[in-house]
Amino acid sequence: MPETTPRAPRGPSGLAFGGDYNPEQWPRDVWDEDARLMREAGVNLVSVGIFAWSLLEPAPGAHEFGWLDDVLDLLHANGVRVDLGTPTVAPPAWFYRAHPDALPVTADGTRFSFGSRGAICHSNADYRAAAADITTRLAERYADHPALAMWHVHNEYGVPVSACYCDSCAAHFRRWLARTYDSVDALNEAWGTAFWGQRYASFAEIDPPRATPTVGNPAQALDYRRFADATLRENFVMERDILHRLAPGVPVTTNFMTALSQCDSVDYWAWGREVDVVTNDHYLITDGRRTHVNLAMAADLTRSVAGGAPWLLLEHSTSGVNWQPRNPAKAPGQMARNSLAHVARGSEGALFFQWRQSRRGAEKFHSAMLPHGGTDTRVWREVVELGAAVEALGAVRGTRTEADVAVLWDWQSWWAQNLQWHPSEDHDPRERADAFYEALYDRHLTVDFAHPEADLSAYPLVVVPALYLMTEAAGANLRDYVENGGTLVVSYFSGIVDEHDAVHDGPVPGPLRDVLGLTVEEFNPLPAGGGVRLRGPGGAELTGDVWTEFVVPRGAETVWTYTDGLVARRPAVTRNRLGRGTAWYLSTRLAPAALDVLLGAAAEDARIAPRAALPRDVEVVRRSGDSGSYLFAVNHTASDAKVPLEAPGTELLTVERAAGRLAVPAEAVRVVRLDG
């Protein structure tokens, strides 16, 4: 990408505030009111035109840009910058009449119909040509528009259709395989096709992993996920390159959804390298868990995908959404806590889906900045208040969130781990990642996520929740990390298979045997609802569930021992000294509170000083950089809290001096710019 492309939306300094703006859903007289109210709320950035293809090109080749010209001019006149969409996630009805093959096909052969959005076969040549054409025309027309801050390509690649299984995708897949493997014999070896007589004589014989009578080849399924992800990325890069060429200097983004519960089909490590600005959409999943912990995790993952650099929250909700089984409203103050918690973890602003709540269509019950009830509403008043808060925090722009520890994460391992016929369906890698994250959050440690092959030397502690797929290179990386003084915590079912889902040669866990100083002779998952007891230092007891193993120490010391079941008297938790570092291994599933015991011991090895006593659910995060050092305190509890300050400073939302212990009222946020 050109050196000159900025890594943030072009526009005024300070943080961004706004949302998706869909004026095409409203008569023109509403637009003037929109502009006036955007000024009132302090909106300075909106995403426009994401779904507007059928309005920009109502018939093939017949373009109508006049209305969009007017929208951009109006926004510009009101000081609002535009994140301009390429509408390629929603091709018009006429396009599908002409090219019915562009509708995607499921693994069992169902072809989707028009009438929603995102119904796209990304291998389809007609789709690619049409997407390139509308992108070119938008870039030619708006490259120099003064309102243009950033391009918003497509929408949420990877959902609602993560892969298509049509004949055109089959042909594309074969070409991808031929590029990836030197020969069909190399593929046969990698996929283990000697098993169940699946050997191929040529690439031409290979299909996508369509419906099969019983379990299909896991390596084929894993490669198809890689292929589907790469195909989406090809189309993003195609649009991005058109935009870079025709509008040099304007950054290009596409909105990610890093929360696994919202999109798990794209490898954001790879995507993060392709965009100029990492942007994310985040929605609270109200399934009874602590939503602010899940939010923090998604924000940390987004920042990590951005390489630690600032990113931008492009969508979240002011209140309830409309697509979960039950969609509660946010409590008073919760929206601001959510928004500013994202800012604490590196977002350069807070944008929402959407500006004005729709009256028609599938999302009319989704909250917005300007609700059906208009300005005399709680949501609107909180939006205006938040706009002022975001403005007051402008100085944090460009600063970086400081992390304490790293958690390894890899989408490819996640894909492999979710393939069928594994030792226990009760083991869920996402649950393990969530649980370790939650335990670290409760220790008030800020987490960076890291790719298993990334440089880990900056982190005193690295946690590996359940990294089933681990390359030899990743194993060597972890070994170096520990030998050079790092502290590693590894959870069970890590380091099992290589990049082709083949079990590493020799005893499990292949690339981790030396670093952990042990082998695992057998997995012994527990019956549904079953538990297992562990005894540790000083006779302390813990209970695990779901998983146990026959661990054989080969150098590691046993710290906790199983006391019942088939694994009684065998090691449950081990610790191995290697070089200047230490590697812990945990062979059962512990809930976050029990994990804390283990993480406490590992944190001691890592010489991470315990955080000054902070109440649970009072989140403290630091951002720092050229403009200074900022402490964010987010109080998710119903009680007032005190947060110790390491230096005096100025609280930016109240503009009051703060020293010693910072008062953070119940459910409030405080941000102190520390002196010095």
Amino acid (1-letter code) at residue 141: R
| Whole-number Å distance between alpha carbons of 35 and 16 | 16
**Residue 366 lies near ligand GLA (rule: CB under 6 A):** yes
166 binds, among Zn ion, ligand GLA, none (CB under 5 to 8 A by kind): Zn ion
Q: Which residue has the tokens 């972890």?
A: 478
CA within 13 Å, CB half, 372: 8
Cβ closest to ligand GLA, residue 362 vs residue 612: 362
| Whole-number Å distance between alpha carbons of 60 and 46 | 28
**Residue 619 lies near ligand GLA (rule: CB under 6 A):** no
Residue 291 has which token pair? 């939503």
164 binds, among ligand GLA, Zn ion, none (CB under 5 to 8 A by kind): Zn ion
Q: Minimum distance from CB of 268 to ligand GLA (Å)?
A: 15
Site size toward ligand GLA (CB under 6 A) is 9
Strands laid side by side in the 628-635 sheet: 400-401, 618-625, 628-635, 669-674, 649-651, 656-658
Residue 380 has which token pair? 């609107």
**Residue 267 lies near ligand GLA (rule: CB under 6 A):** no
Burial class (CB in 10 A: 0-12, 13-18, 19+), 27: exposed
Cβ closest to Zn ion, residue 124 vs residue 413: 124
**Residue 461 lies near ligand GLA (rule: CB under 6 A):** no
Q: Minimum distance from CB of 163 to Zn ion (Å)?
A: 8
**Residue 83 lies near ligand GLA (rule: CB under 6 A):** no
Cβ closest to ligand GLA, residue 188 vs residue 358: 358
121 binds, among ligand GLA, Zn ion, none (CB under 5 to 8 A by kind): Zn ion
Q: Which residue has the tokens 């900022």?
A: 630
Residue choice 34, 264, 267, 281 for contact with ligand GLA (CB under 6 A) = 281
Decide the pairing of beta strands 16-21 and 45-48: parallel
| Whole-number Å distance between alpha carbons of 369 and 135 | 29
**Residue 303 lies near ligand GLA (rule: CB under 6 A):** no
155 binds, among ligand GLA, Zn ion, none (CB under 5 to 8 A by kind): ligand GLA
Q: Minimum distance from CB of 643 to ligand GLA (Å)?
A: 32
- Which among 548, 560, 557 is positioned nearest to 582, based on CA atoms? 557
**Residue 321 lies near ligand GLA (rule: CB under 6 A):** yes
The residue count of the chain comes to 676
283 binds, among Zn ion, ligand GLA, none (CB under 5 to 8 A by kind): ligand GLA
632 binds, among Zn ion, ligand GLA, none (CB under 5 to 8 A by kind): none
The DSSP result for 426-486, as a single string, is: T--HHHHHHHHHHHHHHTT--EEEE-TTS--TT-SEEEES---B--HHHHHHHHHHHHTT-
The DSSP result for 12-47, as a single string, is: SSS-EEEEEE-GGGS-HHHHHHHHHHHHHHT--EEE
Query: Active site includes 239?
Result: no
Q: Minimum distance from CB of 366 to ligand GLA (Å)?
A: 5
Query: Active site includes 3?
Result: no
Rg, C-alpha atoms of the chain? 26
Cβ closest to ligand GLA, residue 353 vs residue 414: 353
169 binds, among ligand GLA, Zn ion, none (CB under 5 to 8 A by kind): Zn ion
Q: Minimum distance from CB of 611 to ligand GLA (Å)?
A: 34
**Residue 404 lies near ligand GLA (rule: CB under 6 A):** no
- Which among 628, 658, 663, 634 is positioned nearest to 646, based on CA atoms? 658
Decide the pairing of beta strands 81-86 and 461-464: unpaired
367 binds, among ligand GLA, Zn ion, none (CB under 5 to 8 A by kind): none
Contacts of 425 (CB under 8 A, 6+ apart): none
Contacts of 224 (CB under 8 A, 6+ apart): 163, 173, 208, 209
3-state secondary structure of 575: strand
Cβ closest to Zn ion, residue 123 vs residue 354: 123
**Residue 319 lies near ligand GLA (rule: CB under 6 A):** no
Which 62-81 positions form the footprint of ligand GLA (CB under 6 A)? Answer: none
DSSP E strand boundaries for 473-556: 487-491, 518-523, 531-535, 541-545, 549-553
The active-site residue out of 57, 239, 315, 651 is: 315
Residues forming contacts to Zn ion in the complex (CB under 5 A) are: 121, 123, 164, 166, 168-169
Which string of x and - marks every residue 126-155 that binds ligand GLA (by CB under 6 A)? -----------------------------x
| Whole-number Å distance between alpha carbons of 562 and 599 | 19
Q: Minimum distance from CB of 93 to ligand GLA (Å)?
A: 19
Q: Which residue ranges make up the site for ligand GLA (CB under 6 A)?
A: 155-156, 281, 283, 315, 321, 353, 363, 366
Give the catalytic positions in this structure: 156, 315
